[in-house]
Amino acid sequence: MDVAQINAPPGATHGKSKVMVINTNLQAQGTSTLLMHSSGMLAQSLQRLSSGSKITSPADDSAGLAVSMKLNAQLARINAASNNVGNAISFSQTQDGYLTKVNDALSRMSELAVLSQDVTKQDSDRALYQQEFSALGSYINNVATKDFNGVSLFSAATLNVTTDSEANLFAMSGVNLANATYASAIAGTIDTSANAATALGTVKAAINQLASDRANIGSNMESLAYYNDQLSSLKNNLSAANSRITDVDVAQESTNYAKWNILVQSGTAMLSQANSLPQSVLKLLG
């Protein structure tokens, strides 16, 4: 035989022989297998606790990893859409800030048009009113050229804002300060009583148009605010779903770590004992 065997005394195990071997240490092999398993689980627990994630390799949860990857991609798109909506809100707020001053200018122009119709005023007085009237018109013309990061604030173009992770769009209506209504008001004169009466009508029409434009801007901002709230809520919900898939439960994993750490230590001690068992055969050979 290639294995040294020594039989125990007859009857020690009710007719069965107890065999001691030195070539193949089955006890050490079994203990080593269990120790390798415990060491692997301890290493996995350490990785989870140090990374904060319970999926440290695709083998941990292949389906969960696939779902998490898609959720992370969607979350990135939601963040981008949220930035787009936020910038569109800032764009609208900037528009309204300018239009507030345009409203003040048009109100003053209408006031000047009425003052110019005063029968106690002479044309020399009206010329002074006309000077201020023209200056206010020039201010409105200047506002019409303003932009936001290179994008015109007051053109007739409709701006399409990305509102979700699938790039669906919200049409944000434009405000055109160069349209005929505003142009007529700016081009008016109040140097005579008759011209002042005509100018008053065009300025009042411009004020009505401005009221409509500001209402549109208000509607844009309100809609965008709803989209922004929706994106924030969706982001929170998806983050929570992703957390349940990938984030480690530290309390549970700490318990697992303690368990596997104890098993590794006890397994190491038992492997040392198992490796020393064949040495007892030497006593029988002495």
Give pLDDT tens digits for 30-42: 888 888 888 888 8
**Residue 22 has what pLDDT?**
64
Closest by Cα among 182, 175, 186 to 152: 175
Which sequence spans correspond to the domains of the chain? Answer: 6-52+248-285, 62-244
Q: Examine the pLDDT at 260 and tell me if it is beyond 50.
A: yes
Q: Indicate the pTM of the whole model.
A: 0.74
Q: How many Å apart are CA 71 and CA 74, to the nearest integer? A: 5
Please tell me the least confidently modeled range out of 83-87, 94-98, 221-225, 240-244: 240-244
Q: How many Å apart are CA 230 and CA 82, to the nearest integer? A: 9
End-to-end Cα spacing for the chain: 20
Mean local confidence (pLDDT), 103-128: 94
Mean local confidence (pLDDT), 92-102: 96
**Residue 284 has what pLDDT?**
67
Q: 99 vs 21, which has greater pLDDT?
A: 99
> Average pLDDT over the chain, rounded to whole?
86
**Residue 285 has what pLDDT?**
65
Q: 251 vs 120, which has greater pLDDT?
A: 120
> Per DSSP, what are the bridge partners of residue 150?
none
Give pLDDT tens digits for 125-163: 999 999 999 999 999 999 999 999 999 999 888 999 999
Q: Examine the pLDDT at 174 and tell me if it is beyond 70.
A: yes
> What is the third-level CATH fold of 62-244?
f41 fragment of flagellin, N-terminal domain (1.20.1330)
Q: How many Å apart are CA 41 and CA 58, to the nearest integer? A: 16
